[in-house]
């Protein structure tokens, strides 16, 4: 399934993350009606989608939706920004102009600072710069 979410500047980062989490909750609660297995939810994202997919592994939000902490069983995140604080320190960056995040907001919404306390499958891809 593909998740649709709001975009900046019409939505703040917290709203965009909430859109993704609502979609995960809906999927978990309804996927069986469509032949899916709620015990086998995996996330994939690229670029901004990698950041958003990663926020589904951050602890603490699941109880608000009546979901188990390990609702997401695995993640493939490619080329994302997992520490949004770098954007808060770059006020001239196009993304920060749209997002207008404070340092506090960027830290709150950065998966880098909120690693999950659960076991999950992950795929990491690194490229070494050739000379």
Q: Domain containing 103 — which CATH number?
A: 3.40.50.1820
| pLDDT of res. 129 | 61
Domain membership of residue 4 (yes or no) is no
Which pLDDT belongs to residue 22? 97
List Cβ<8 Å contacts ≥24 apart for 101-108. Answer: 101/13, 105/12, 105/13, 105/14, 106/13, 108/14
Q: How many domains does the chain have?
A: 1
Residue 3 lies in a domain: no
pLDDT of residue 99: 83
Is 81 among the domain residues? yes
Q: Is residue 99 part of a domain?
A: yes
CA distances 15 to 5, 9, 18, 91, Å, are: 9, 11, 5, 21
β-bridge partners, 121? 74
pLDDT of residue 123: 58
For the question of whether the overall pTM of this predicted structure is more than 0.85, the answer is yes
In a domain, 113, yes or no: yes
pLDDT of residue 73: 93
Distances from the Cα of 60 to the Cα of 12, 30, 57, 67, 86, angstroms: 20, 22, 9, 11, 23
Q: Where are the alpha helices (DSSP H) in 31-110?
A: 48-55, 85-88, 94-99, 103-108
Does some domain include residue 5?
Answer: no
Report angle CA 112, 30, 13 to the nearest 5 degrees. Answer: 30
Weakly modelled stretches of the chain, pLDDT under 50: none
Q: Residue 87 phi/psi, 5° resolution?
A: -70, -40
pLDDT at 87: 84
Give the domain extent around 20.
13-123
Percent of the chain topping pLDDT 70: 91
């Amino acid at each position: 399934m593909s998740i649709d979410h709001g975009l900046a500047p019409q939505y703040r980062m917290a709203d965009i993350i909430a859109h993704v989490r609502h979609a995960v909750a809906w999927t978990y609660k309804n996927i069986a009606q469509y032949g899916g297995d709620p015990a086998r939810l995996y996330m994939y994202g690229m670029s901004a989608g990698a950041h958003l997919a990663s926020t589904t592994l951050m602890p603490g939000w699941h109880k608000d939706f009546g979901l188990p902490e390990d609702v997401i069983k695995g993640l493939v995140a490619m080329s994302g920004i997992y520490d949004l604080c770098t954007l808060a320190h770059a006020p001239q960056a196009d993304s920060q102009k749209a997002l207008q995040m404070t340092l506090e907001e960027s830290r709150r919404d950065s998966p880098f600072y909120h690693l999950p306390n659960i076991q999950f499958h992950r795929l990491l891809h690194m490229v070494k710069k050739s000379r």
